Structure 1
Amino acid sequence: MKSVRRLIFVILSLFCISSIMHAQDIDEIIAKHIDAHGDTDKWDAIQSMEIRGRFIAFSEEDDFYALKTNSGAYYSELHLGKHKVTEAFNGTSGWTIDPWHDFSFPRALNKTEVNVFNQKAEFFTPFYKWEERGFTVELLGKQTVDGIDVFAIKLSRPNGKSETWFLDANTYLEYKCESEWADFGYGGPAESYFDDFRTVNGIVIPFFIERTFYQRNRMLQIEDIKFNIEVDEELFEFPRSAEMKKLAFLEGEWDVKVDVWSRRGSWYRLDSTFSIILWESTNRLLEKIIYDRIYVQSKWINYSYISSEKKYKIIVYNGFSSDFELFEGNFNDSTFIADQVFINREDSTQQNAFSRIILRDMEGDSFVFEVKTTRDAGANWRPQDKFTYIRRKELF
C-alpha cells in the first residue's frame, strides 16, 4: 500500500515539476522573443507607427501606407491589382472600400475580417503584453520548419481565435505564423513569413512580410517607418459618404413655421413648432417633428443615399395615419427635389397623382422644406405645405 502511495506521489511530483518547467520554458522563450525586438521601454513609449512601402498583389506592385496606434487602431491604403483599397479599424470594428467587390462606398468588416484586423493592428508581435490583453499561450514544442529550428507556440485570443507562431530558436524572432485570414470576406488558413529584420531607433522590425492563402500571394516590402506621429482619430471611424455630407446641414435643432397653401392662392400660417434632426447612423439622418394640420401630425423622416441607384431616399412615417411614403430624388444645382414613388404602379391614380418634396433656400442656419402635389403626372404642380426651418440658437 505504501509503495502505491509512493508511486502516486512520485508521478504527481513529476507532473508538477514538468508543468513548472513548461511554464518557465514558454515564459523564457517569450521574454527572449520580446528582447530580440529591442528595448521594451522604447516600445512602451510608442503611441503610433506610420509605415510606407511597396505591396504586391495579383502580380501588381504599388505603394503601401499603414498607420497603427497602441490602442489597436489600424488604417491602410493599398492596391489589389489595379484597384485601390482603403481599410480602417478602431480596435473593435472597422470598414473597407474595396472596388474588387464593385463597392465604391465603405462597408463594415464582418467577424472574420475583424479577426484579421486584430492581427494587422499588432505593433510588432502579439506576445507583447499578451497576459494583460487576455491572451493565452501554449508551447507546442521545438520543431524544424524549412530547415530552421523553431519554437512553436499556440496563441489564443479572447475572441476564441488562435494562431501558431514559429520563433527562430537562435534569434527568437518570428519566422512564420499560421492563422485564419480573409479572402474577399471569406475565412481561410494563411501562412505568413517574416524576414529582413532591421533596427530602427533601437527596436527591431521585419521589413519584409509574405503571406499566402489559397492561391493568393501577398508581399510587403517596408521602406520607411516613423513613430509617434500625430493621428487623426476620424480615420478609423466609419466614413460619411460624400452624398450624405451634402445633407449634413440638416443636423440640429430647429424652430419651424408651418404654412399651407390656401384657396386664395397664398400661404397661410397654420402652426409653429420645433424639430430635431440627428444622425441615426453614419449615413442616415432622422427627423422627428410634430405639428398641427387641423389634426396632430407626428412624422419621422429618414434621409439616406443608395449608391447603387445614385439616388437619395426619403422615407416618411406618418404617425397619424400609420403609413409610409417613399420619395426618390437628387440635387438640382442648389435645390433638392425628390418625387414620391409607389410599389404598385399599375394603379392609374398613383401614376398621375403624387407628391414632391423640395428643399430650397439652404443657407446653413435656415432652409425651406416644401411639399407640392400633381394630378397630371407632373405636368402641373400645386403648392401644398411649406415648412420654414430656422436653426435654434444656443442660450449660453
Structure 2
Amino acid sequence: WYLSSETFLEVARIAPAADFGQPIEAGRTYFLDFRPVSGLMIPYRIEKEYGIRFRSYDVDSVEVNPELTADTFSFPRPEAMADLPVRPGAWRVDVEWPTPRPGAPWAKTTTSAMIEELFHGALLEAELTFDQAGDIRRLRHTWSHDRFRNTYLETVFDNLTFRHTLLEGALTDGTLVTSTLDTGTVLDLGGQQLHLRQATSRTDTEGFQILQETSADGGETWQEALRLTFTPSTTATDEPEGR
C-alpha cells in the first residue's frame, strides 16, 4: 500500500490480480477523488492496470452501514426467468387427467412438490409423485432459458418411458407455451408419433397451472392429457412411494 505524505490516505496499492479466472502478475490500483462520507474519506474514482489492461471506475453513491441480507450477495436471477409463471418454493399440486369415458368428469388426486432454484435462478427444477389410476407416476421437470436463441426450454423425465422429453417455446402475455414439434424428442408408440405440448400460466391463487396436451397428427390437433395446478403451501403432504 502507498499512503499520501500529506493526507495519509491510501492512494495506491500493488497486489496479485486475475484475468479470466487466471492469476497474473501483480497489478496496480490507484485511488483518487476522496470525498467525506459519514466521517470517512471514500475514493470516488478507482483506476486499475494489470497486464495490458487499464480500467477506471467512478463511484455513483456510497451507503454506510447498509442492511445486509443473503440477497445482497446473490447473483440476480436472469430477467427471462423472472418473468416465468413458475416460481421456487413449496407447493400443493392438484393433478387432473381425463378418463376413458367421454364426457365424464376428470379424475383427480393431490400431491406436493418443491421447486428448487439452481445456478443462481437460471434453472428451476421440480419432482412430483402421484397415483394415476393405480400407476405411480414420477415426473422430474426443469425450466430454463436459452439466451442465445431467445427461447425457453423445458425437460420432463418420467418413470414410465424413462426418457428425457425436451420442449421449446416462448412466453407470450404471461403464458409459457412449449412443445416437442421441433426438438426431435417425439415419443414413438409402435410407429405412431406422439408430440407433447405444455401451456403454463398464472392462476388467481398466486400459483400457476400446467396444461399438458398430446398430438398424434404432427400438431394439427391437440388433446388434453394432464392438468397440474400449483398452489403455495406451507406444509408438505405425504407422497406415494414409487420406483
How many Å apart are 1:220 and its aligned residue? 4.2
Which residue is equivalent to 1:244? 81
Using a 3 Å threshold, how does the CA distance of structure 1 residues 388 and 262 change in structure 2: closer, same or farther? farther
2: CA distance, partners of 1:221 / 1:369: 47
The one-letter code matched in structure 2 to 1:300 is R
Rg bigger for which structure? 1
Q: Can you list the C-alpha shifts for 1:57-96, whole angstroms capped at 9, x where unaligned?
A: xxxxxxxxxxxxxxxxxxxxxxxxxxxxxxxxxxxxxxxx
Larger RCO (CA within 8 A; separation ≥ 6): 2
Decide which of 151, 154, 166 is 1:326's aligned counterpart. 166
3-state SS, counterpart of residue 178 of structure 2: strand
Note if contact 1:177-1:193 (Cα within 8 Å) is conserved in structure 2: yes
How many Å apart are 1:339 and its aligned residue? 0.4
Using a 3 Å threshold, how does the CA distance of structure 1 residues 351 and 191 change in structure 2: closer, same or farther? farther
3-state SS, counterpart of residue 243 of structure 1: helix
Question: What are the within-5 Å matches in structure 2 for residues 297-308 of structure 1?
Answer: 297-308=137-148
Note if contact 1:367-1:390 (Cα within 8 Å) is conserved in structure 2: yes
TM-score, length-normalised on structure 1? Answer: 0.48
3-state SS, counterpart of residue 253 of structure 1: strand
3-state SS, counterpart of residue 238 of structure 1: coil
Note if contact 1:260-1:386 (Cα within 8 Å) is conserved in structure 2: no
The question of 1:338 aligning with 2:178 is answered: yes
Question: What are the within-5 Å matches in structure 2 for residues 285-324 of structure 1?
Answer: 285-293=124-132, 294-324=134-164
3-state SS, counterpart of residue 353 of structure 1: strand
3-state SS, counterpart of residue 302 of structure 1: strand
TM-score, length-normalised on structure 2? Answer: 0.73
How many Å apart are 1:318 and its aligned residue? 0.9
Which residue is equivalent to 1:260? 98
Which residue is equivalent to 2:109? 272
The question of 1:211 aligning with 2:60 is answered: no
3-state SS, counterpart of residue 218 of structure 2: coil
Decide which of 359, 367, 388 is 2:200's aligned counterpart. 359
3-state SS, counterpart of residue 209 of structure 2: strand
Using a 3 Å threshold, how does the CA distance of structure 1 residues 311 and 229 change in structure 2: closer, same or farther? same
The question of 1:384 aligning with 2:219 is answered: no
Using a 3 Å threshold, how does the CA distance of structure 1 residues 233 and 332 change in structure 2: closer, same or farther? same
How many Å apart are 1:217 and its aligned residue? 2.3
Which residue is equivalent to 1:28? none
How many Å apart are 1:219 and its aligned residue? 3.2
How many Å apart are 1:363 and its aligned residue? 2.4
Which residue is equivalent to 2:24? 188
1: CA distance, partners of 2:168 / 2:156: 12
Note if contact 2:85-2:208 (Cα within 8 Å) is conserved in structure 1: no
The one-letter code matched in structure 2 to 1:219 is S
2: CA distance, partners of 1:223 / 1:387: 47
More helix by share: 1
Note if contact 1:261-1:384 (Cα within 8 Å) is conserved in structure 2: no
Question: What are the within-5 Å matches in structure 2 for residues 142-221 of structure 1?
Answer: 165-167=1-3, 173-183=9-19, 185-189=21-25, 190-195=27-32, 197=34, 200-220=37-57
Note if contact 1:261-1:383 (Cα within 8 Å) is conserved in structure 2: no
Percent identity between matched residues is 23
Using a 3 Å threshold, how does the CA distance of structure 1 residues 350 and 220 change in structure 2: closer, same or farther? farther
The one-letter code matched in structure 2 to 1:336 is L
The answer for unaligned runs of 5 or more in structure 1 is 1-164
The one-letter code matched in structure 2 to 1:260 is P
> What is the root-mean-square deviation of aligned Cα atoms in Å?
3.6
How many Å apart are 1:299 and its aligned residue? 1.3
Aligned residues: 228
How many Å apart are 1:274 and its aligned residue? 0.8
Which piece of structure 1 moves more, 357-366 or 378-387?
357-366
How many Å apart are 1:254 and its aligned residue? 0.9
1: CA distance, partners of 2:227 / 2:60: 60
Note if contact 1:257-1:389 (Cα within 8 Å) is conserved in structure 2: no
